[in-house]
Amino acid sequence: MKPLPIVVLISGGGSNLRAIIDAVEKQNLPAKIRAVISNCPDACGLQRACNSGIETQVVDHRQFVDRDSFDHALQQAIDSYDPELVVLAGFMRILTPRFVAHYQGRMINIHPSLLPAYRGLRTHQRALEANDTRHGASVHFVTSDLDGGPVIIQAEVPVLSCDTPDTLAARVLALEHKIYPQAIRWFTEGRLRLEGDVASLDGQPLMKPVYWEDSQ
Ligand code: GAR
């Protein structure tokens, strides 16, 4: 299978990026990461990309007067690599509707909560404050509804009475590293699509997200 060209956007540590690179290098994920682009010049993930010989670019949002001009520059940077899928992996910027529309059906995100619960930030803290017994992560298509696009796959962890936001985040992150490569694999294999505002897998609309069993 010809590898699908993808571009990964990051803002920070890049552990999800690392998981995607590992899946490409060691698990035959049929993708070619043409570039990793960050809005933060000091994102550690840029070094991870360099170490794997992947091209990197920085489009620093602080250099732009408004969201529109930043998104325009970001779009130009992404499109110069002609990707078929844009993967947001800890990319912490709110995107303009025009930018999102340009990548409709070919941009996915990972979010550290069981969407639709806890869109936005501080998800682990909020799950603890609500005394939730389960928490997790979701991969979804990006739409102009922030963290509100159709969910593809989710993984859950139990919330433990001794959890802090950091311990909970670490257990969720470990599962993020499994479900993101899986969702990307489905897309590269042509099995995953956005049809209208519904995600479909193998031609079947996903009435609810696929639930990741950790034995997979
Ligand atoms: C991950 O937990 C990801 O789900 C989250 O940022 C972290 C990035 O970690 N993304 C969001 O909160 C997006 N709203 P990483 O840089 O180590 O992959």
Compare 207 and 215 and report the one with higher pLDDT: 207
User: For the chain, what is the total number of helices (H) and then of strands (E)?
Assistant: 6, 11
In a domain, 59, yes or no: yes
In a domain, 148, yes or no: yes
C-alpha pair distances (Å), 179 with each of 126, 128, 188: 22, 23, 14
The confidence score (pLDDT) of residue 7 equals 98
In a domain, 206, yes or no: yes
Ligand 1 closest atom vs CA 121: 12
**SS3 state of residue 202:** coil
The separation between CA 84 and the C-alpha centre of its own chain, rounded to angstroms, equals 15
The single-letter code of the amino acid at 80 is S
Using one digit for the tens of pLDDT, what is the confidence trace for 67-117?
999 999 999 999 999 999 999 999 999 999 999 999 999 999 999 999 999
In a domain, 122, yes or no: no
The confidence score (pLDDT) of residue 214 equals 76
In a domain, 37, yes or no: yes
The confidence score (pLDDT) of residue 216 equals 57
Q: Is the pLDDT of residue 31 over 70?
A: yes
Q: Is the pLDDT of residue 54 over 90?
A: yes
Helix ranges, 135-193 (H): 165-188
Q: Measured in angstroms, how far is the CA atom of residue 122 from the centroid of ligand 1?
A: 11
**SS3 state of residue 11:** coil
Mean pLDDT of 52-76: 98
Ligand 1 closest atom vs CA 173: 2
The confidence score (pLDDT) of residue 1 equals 78
Task: Report the CATH number that the domain containing residue 193 is assigned in CATH.
Answer: 3.40.50.170
- Is residue 16 within 6 Å of ligand 1 at its C-beta? yes
The confidence score (pLDDT) of residue 215 equals 65
The confidence score (pLDDT) of residue 188 equals 98
Query: How many domains is the chain built from?
Result: 1
Q: Is the pLDDT of residue 147 over 80?
A: yes
Mean pLDDT of the chain: 97
Q: For residue 23, what are the domain limits? A: 4-113+135-155+172-215
Residue 112: closest CA among 208, 21, 176, 183 = 176
Cα gap 11→124, rounded to integer Å:
19
In a domain, 162, yes or no: no
